[in-house]
Amino acid sequence: MSLFRDLLRHPSGRIGLIIVLVFLLAAIAGKAGLSPFDPLAQDRLARLQAPSASHLFGTDMFGRDVLSRLMVGVAQSFIVSFFSVAVATLAGTVLGLTAAWYGGLWDGIVMRLMDVLLAFPAILLALLIIAIMGPSGWTSILAIAIVYTPIFTRVVRGPALSLKRRDFVDAARSFGSSRRYIMSRHLALNLVAPLTVQITLALAWALITEAGLSFLGLGTQPPQASLGLMLADARNLMEMAPWLLLVPAVALSFAVLGFNLLGDALRDLLDPKTRRALA
């Protein structure tokens, strides 16, 4: 894994990787029930307690442990982000690759369809989908996936079009290689780099979008924990219990920061243009 080694050597890559890993571990621990408290357990005697040794990040208005809720909240945010980006990547890659390769009518249909989706501001498109399907974690996944599909389609189609004109594709055609072989070998393989970068950055956006939807009450529904919900709950208590605001705010920003740093580092390492500049 030379990419992994390169990442550890890259200053922002290292920081990003550490942040993402810490959050990933916290999320897994939260999902595995390893949080210090039951994230749903209410304790009327311990409401709105400031951070202390027993409740590291304090408790909320129902006496629930904020750290524990943060862990499952992060897990929830990550799950929604990962699934939505995975769906968008898959759909976008298939659409973008076939559009670039076959061109003509199919390309026209796909790209006009993407134009239509892109004509909506991202959050509004998500809201429209949620309005139709009713708010839930699964709807969020679908909504975010639909929002990002056109972006991935473009990310794939652009480079695929230029790859298609590259000499090595001509060389393959001169041997008589099949379309499927050229698509899987020459196009897809060379799209891994731009896709990796885009996936990482999309994860950052997806975290933000998921949190925003939950914040509006249109994403993850209570009593489930999510970062956006925790922030929404903190709104009216921020003066009385600032930790309720600060803990999820910092956690969310850091998680996003981690993916952004990682994405930037990957771009530096995978993009041949910057690669040359670094060498």
Partner 1 sequence: MSSLLSVRDLKVGFGPRPESNEVVHGVSFDLAPGETLAIVGESGSGKSVTSMAVNRLIDFGGGRITSGSTAFTRADGSTIDLARAEERQLEGIRGREIGMIFQEPMTSLNPVLSIGTQIEEVFRIQFAMSGAEAKTAAREALERVRIPDAARRLTYAPHQLSGGMLQRVMIAIALASNPRLLIADEPTTALDVTIQAQIMGLLSEMKRETGTGMIFITHDIGLVAGFADRVMVMQQGEVVEQGMLDAVLDNPQHDYTKHLLNAVPHFSDGRSVRHDMQRDEGSRKVLEVEDLTVRFPVRAGLLKRQTGNVHAVEGVGFDLMQGETLGIVGESGSGKSTTARAILDLVRPTKGRIRAEGLAGAVSDKPVQMVFQNPNASLNPRLTVKQLLAEPLIAVRRRIDAEAVSRMEMLLDRVGLPADSLARYPHEFSGGQRQRLCIARALMLNPSILVLDEAVSALDVSVQAKVLDLLIDLQNEFGLAYLFVTHDMAVVERIAHRIAVVYAGQIVEIGPTSEVLANPRHDYTRQLIKAVPSLDRRHSDYGIDLTEIPSLVRPMGWEPDAPRYESAGEGHLVRAGA
Partner 2 sequence: MPYPLKRLLAFPLVMFGVSVFVFIAIRLVPGDAITAMLGTESGLLTPAQREALTAYFGLDQNIFVQFWRWLSGVVQGDFGISTTYGQPVLRVIFDHFSLTLELAVLSMLLSLVIGLPAGIYAATHKDRPGDLAVRVVAMLGQSTPGFVVGLLLIFSLSVFFGVLPQMGSFVPFWQDPLGNLSQMILPALTLGTAFAAAVIRVSRSAMLDILSEDYVRTARSKGLSRRRVIWRHALPNALIPLVTLSGVEFGYLLGGAVLVEQIFALPGLGRVVLDAIQQRDYALVQGTILFIAFNFMVVNLLVDLAYAALDPRIRFETK
Contact status, residue 242 vs residue 258, Cβ threshold 8 Å: no
Determine if the peptide bond prior to 223 is cis (ω within 30°). Answer: yes
Told to check if 189 binds partner 1 by CB under 8 A, we report yes
Amino acid in the structure at residue 256: V
- Fill in the DSSP letter of residue 271: -
CA dihedral of residues 267, 271, 274, 276 (deg, nearest 10): 140
Closest CA to 153 of 212, 106, 213, 206: 106
Single out the residue of 168, 222, 223, 278 in contact with partner 1 (rule: CB under 8 A). 168
Single out the residue of 12, 42, 136, 190 in contact with partner 1 (rule: CB under 8 A). 190
Told to check if 2 binds partner 1 by CB under 8 A, we report no
55/186 with CB nearer partner 1: 186
d(CA 103, CA 97): 10
Told to check if 138 binds partner 2 by CB under 8 A, we report no
Site string for partner 2, 204-233 (x = CB under 8 A): x---x--xx--xxxx------------x--
Q: Which stretch binds partner 1 (CB under 8 A): 60-68, 91-99, 165-173, 257-265?
A: 165-173
Site string for partner 1, 43-62 (x = CB under 8 A): --------------------
Site string for partner 2, 249-278 (x = CB under 8 A): x--xxx-xx--xx--x--------------
Closest CA to 217 of 140, 276, 135: 135
Q: Which stretch binds partner 2 (CB under 8 A): 76-84, 91-99, 155-163, 238-246?
A: 238-246
Beta bridge partners of 65: 59
48/270 with CB nearer partner 1: 270
The alpha helices in the chain, defined as continuous H runs, are: 2-9, 11-31, 66-102, 104-118, 122-133, 137-164, 167-175, 179-181, 189-215, 227-234, 242-270, 272-278
102/181 with CB nearer partner 1: 181
Q: Which stretch binds partner 1 (CB under 8 A): 56-64, 112-120, 170-178, 211-219?
A: 170-178
Where on the chain is the footprint of partner 1 (CB under 8 A)?
166-168, 170-178, 181, 185-186, 189-190, 192, 272
